[in-house]
Structure 1
Amino acid sequence: MPLAEDLVVVPLFARTFRGGSRGQPFVFALVNDQGEMTGRLHGMHEWRDSPFTGFCFTVAADPHRHRAFHLNRYGLFAWNVGGQLRARLDTEAKAFKPLTHFTLTACSPDGHLLLVHNKQHLVLRVPAPDDLGDLASVVETALRTYAKQRTALKKKWAPVNWHWVNSPPRTSRNGPGGR
């Protein structure tokens, strides 16, 4: 993913095993436009923050604000262009536990995080704050809003196995007035 005009983030990880790979080495490398590794995204622990659980190796980058983001089963991470960890939202915390049901897909052109729910086929757009120190409050608000809006959608569209179908509104057998 491009992090700047001349810098990309490349996920590199060790071989995966059938029995589990948590704790295997991985790195999110910073590679310049000459193909040279100039650094890495720091601050993730090989075991505690392992992307192997759930095979979450996606890194989303916002090249306009020079930030990188990663979401796995253990947290949402945010780095600056130098690879320094600026925010970590732990999914063990009650407020961020719902993040475990999402996959980070990309950053929008305006720098917002695009998360897709793994089962509900819905997209959550999280506005990335100017200061990454405010990321926790922004994500918490987005998750609360998502829950409310999802409930409203369920009432309006009546999903079938979490597939949202556009069907006529339900009426009783005896017509709109029903008896």
Structure 2
Amino acid sequence: MQTPTGTPRPITRYGTPVLHRRCADVTVFDDALAQLVADMFASMYAAHGVGLAANQIGVDARIFVVDCPDATGAHTVAAVVNPVLHLPERRDLEVDSEGCLSVPGQRAEVARAATATVTGLDPAGAPIRLSGTGTLARCFQHEVDHLDGLAYVDRLPAAQRKRILAASAEHPGVGVGVPGEE
């Protein structure tokens, strides 16, 4: 099968219901899924992101894509379907600035595990296992959070979250089109 060409879709903004609940497991691996993954990559690149979860383009499905560097600078480009996040039992936390395409124009310091692994399936349904450090580990955690109905701002103190969301509401958004509708 030839890899489909993706079409960028509008980025769904924080507050849209699909971003605030656990996404549905994917059970069908077909041309429609391949097209969705291609659209996710196109949307991520159009918005200048390094990761994107399906619900960030309004789709209720446990899929994320990344094009993200690890601590050594090596890039991982991948799509993971039905991901499961695995963190070390003993975690070294790294605090770093984090942003989100669904909360445009804002960033905050967030503590995340320094290393992370995801297991799941690739878009053809084959098992996949990816491990990462640095920004890649942060991306895995950030995207799985999205699929579980959490955004990075949900991990912040309420007053800080409120300030960030108010400032983001004034931002025109990222990517193409207007904010997605569920």
Relative to the length of structure 1, the TM-score reads 0.28
Structure showing greater radius of gyration is 1
RCO comparison, higher one (Cα < 8 Å, 6+): 2
Relative to the length of structure 2, the TM-score reads 0.28
